[in-house]
């Protein structure tokens, strides 16, 4: 299940506008810089010294930096030039020399067939207009036996709950497209010819004000976001799990890791 794309709706332009205006915040964001999934990715996909690696929608470059000390080289790819500029500065500040950057679309990767050992994408795919095409592109550029490691927020299986949760996300970030359920992701991997070797989901609670501030959400829309949490229907509330802590409100955005391997015979 996915959101209907309206004629003339340029999601890529909205992504560039939204993230270009907040590039430095995504370098500094603790959710992105120190999230549990960074360490977990290294555990699930132990790197090898001769690997060529690609990090799609690199943001602040945190995943690229996590793998860089352990592989031959990493390409940090993003659609948005200001994001890449901020990532380059951050990477350079860490004294890392084997990470290069490229501006490109996740759905049209500028790499030859079967040329990469590992492709990562962390907390970004819910922005992509055609997620199925993105996964197929990753499968194309992976060598036989190569791996894709994806981390993203996942939505409810229930259709009504999914639409509500995605509307909540879109109110905060107009460049949000759709976050899929875990079952949707497993299907997309299978359809692209990737054998899923591992998947898991963990709860990830966020402070509403901090989450909204990262995207400079207006005060009016912050009130609306709070109301949506308080008034969420059962199917959405089960996942969002809002909880009041003093004058703050926290809520859950479950985060999945999925690892797939390209068959040796494909």
Are 216 and 21 contacting, i.e. CB atoms less than 8 angstroms apart? yes
Look at the block and give the residue holding tokens 């036996």. 145
Q: Is residue 3 part of a domain?
A: no
Q: How many domains does the chain have?
A: 1
- Could you report the per-residue pLDDT of 46-60, keeping only the tens digit for each? 999 999 999 999 998
Please, which residues have CB within 8 angstroms of residue 1's CB and are 6 or more apart in sequence? 159, 162, 180, 181, 184
Model's pTM, two decimal places?
Answer: 0.88
Given 3-state DSSP classes, what are the helix, strand and coil percentages for the chain, each rounded to the nearest 5? Answer: 45, 25, 35
- Could you report the per-residue pLDDT of 175-208, keeping only the tens digit for each? 999 999 999 999 999 999 999 999 999 999 999 9
Region 101-121 average pLDDT: 97
The length of the chain is: 266
- Could you report the per-residue pLDDT of 237-260, keeping only the tens digit for each? 999 999 999 999 999 999 999 999
Measured in degrees and rounded to the nearest 5, phi and psi for residue 22 equal -130, 30
pLDDT value of position 35: 78
Give the residue among 245, 259, 254 at the shortest CA–CA distance from 186: 259
Q: Is residue 232 part of a domain?
A: no
Encode burial over 170-199: b for 16+ CB neighbours within 10 A, e otherwise: ebbbebbbbbbbbebbbebbeebebeeeeb
Q: How far apart are CA 53 and CA 221, in angstroms?
A: 39
Region 164-172 average pLDDT: 98
- Could you report the per-residue pLDDT of 62-86, keeping only the tens digit for each? 999 999 999 999 999 999 998 899 9
Q: How far apart are CA 190 and CA 196, in angstroms?
A: 7
Q: How far apart are CA 70 and CA 53, in angstroms?
A: 10
Q: Is residue 87 part of a domain?
A: yes
pLDDT value of position 14: 46
Domain that holds residue 44: 11-155+176-204+255-262
Look at the block and give the residue holding tokens 């402070």. 207
Q: Is residue 248 part of a domain?
A: no
Q: Is residue 21 part of a domain?
A: yes
In this predicted structure, the answer to whether residue 23 has a pLDDT above a threshold of 90 is no
Strands 194-202 and 142-153: unpaired
List the beta bridge partners of residue 261. 147, 195
pLDDT value of position 13: 52
Under DSSP, is residue 118 helix (H, G, I), strand (E, B) or coil?
strand
* pLDDT confidence bin for 264, thresholds 50/70/90: confident
Q: How far apart are CA 74 and CA 77, in angstroms?
A: 9
Q: Is residue 164 part of a domain?
A: no
* pLDDT confidence bin for 266, thresholds 50/70/90: low
Q: Is residue 59 part of a domain?
A: yes
pLDDT value of position 31: 47
Q: Is residue 75 part of a domain?
A: yes
47: domain CATH number?
Answer: 3.40.50.150
pLDDT value of position 4: 40
Instruction: Point out the least confidently predicted range of 59-63, 118-122, 206-210.
Output: 59-63
Share of the chain above pLDDT 90, in %: 82
């Amino acid at each position: 299940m996915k959101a209907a794309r309206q004629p003339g709706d340029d999601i890529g332009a909205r992504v560039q506008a939204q993230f270009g205006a907040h590039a430095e915040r995504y370098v500094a964001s603790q959710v992105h810089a120190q999230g549990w999934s960074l360490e977990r990715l290294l555990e699930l996909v132990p790197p090898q010294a001769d690997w060529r690696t690609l990090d799609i929608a690199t943001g602040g470059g945190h995943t690229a930096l996590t793998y860089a000390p352990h592989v031959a080289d990493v390409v940090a790819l993003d659609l948005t030039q200001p994001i890449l500029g901020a990532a380059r500065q951050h990477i350079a500040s860490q004294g890392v020399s084997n990470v290069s950057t490229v501006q490109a679309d996740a759905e049209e990767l500028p790499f030859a067939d079967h040329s990469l050992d590992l492709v990562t994408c962390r907390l970004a795919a819910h922005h992509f207009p055609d997620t199925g095409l993105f996964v197929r592109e990753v499968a194309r550029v992976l060598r036989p036996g190569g791996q894709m490691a994806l981390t993203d927020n996942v939505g409810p299986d229930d259709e009504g709950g999914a639409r509500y949760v995605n509307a909540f996300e879109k109110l905060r970030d107009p460049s949000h497209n759709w976050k899929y359920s875990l079952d949707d992701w497993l299907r997309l991997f299978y359809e692209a010819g990737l054998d899923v070797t591992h998947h898991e989901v963990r709860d990830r609670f966020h402070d509403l004000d901090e989450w909204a501030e990262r995207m400079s959400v207006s005060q009016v829309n912050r009130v609306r976001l709070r109301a949506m949490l308080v008034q969420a229907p059962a199917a959405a509330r089960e996942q969002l799990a809002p909880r009041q802590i003093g004058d703050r409100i926290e809520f859950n955005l479950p985060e999945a890791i999925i690892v797939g391997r390209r068959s040796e015979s494909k």
